[in-house]
Amino acid sequence: MSDDLRYPIGKFEMVSPITPERLRQWIDEIASAPGQLRAAVAGLSDAQLDTPYRPGGWTVRQVVHHLPDSHMNSYCRFRLALTEDAPTIKPYNEARWAELPDATTAPVDLSLALLESLHQRWVVLLKALTEAEWDRRFLHPELGERTLRVSAGVYAWHGRHHVAQITSLRSRSGWR
């Protein structure tokens, strides 16, 4: 764990080579992320959910709603890369999405259920990919070309990253 409240597990670091074993590990992490998120927010009051995980950061509620927003975009990017030749994907302004009323006020159970269903479906897709399909690519206008292989690692980290933001806040705040 890091002392950086924004990155309690550290920033994403790509490993190389990305082996089939590593991909299986990342798929398992993607599969388990919804349950870990649900456990991280279990028993929190509305006041706790509306507490920023760090000074100037999103509230716990916004973090919870951000995960399915982000992961739905990634899931769609996987599907685009599998059905088109190196498509250019559309980025989205995640900070502005986090300010929309559903992200700031909706019950977290809505996004927990959405993330669970989304990840169940995503994992079915990921487990079925061939070695060649893992090397399919999409073009992110800001980040450049990315393979599905790399994206799997990013999103396995992404789930752990946001769960750690919440569990770190719980620990620092003494919330049981």
The number of domains in the chain is 1
Q: Residue 28's pLDDT is what? A: 98
CATH number of the domain where residue 33 is located? 1.20.120.450
| Per-residue pLDDT at 57 | 97
Q: What is the largest CA-CA distance in the chain?
A: 50
Q: Which sign, positive or negative, has the C-alpha torsion 52, 56, 62, 63?
A: negative
pLDDT of residue 2: 67
Domain presence at residue 141? yes
End-to-end CA distance of the chain: 19
Is 95 part of a structural domain of the chain? Answer: yes
Domain presence at residue 12: no
**Inside any domain, residue 53:** yes
Do 100 and 108 form a contact (C-beta atoms < 8 A)? no
Instruction: Tell me the residue range of the domain where 27 lies.
Output: 20-173
Would you state the pLDDT for residue 3? 79
> Binning pLDDT at 50, 70 and 90, where does residue 176 land?
confident
Residue 159 has pLDDT above 70, yes or no: yes
Least confident of 4-8, 104-108, 110-114: 4-8
Q: Which one-letter amino acid corresponds to residue 131?
A: E
Question: What's the predicted TM-score (pTM) here?
Answer: 0.96
Helix or strand holding residue 167 (H, E): helix 148-173
Distance CA 92, CA 86 (A): 18
Tokens 């994403």 belong to which residue? 12
The size of the chain, in residues, is 176
Instruction: Give the confidence band of 98 by pLDDT, cuts at 50, 70, 90.
Output: very high
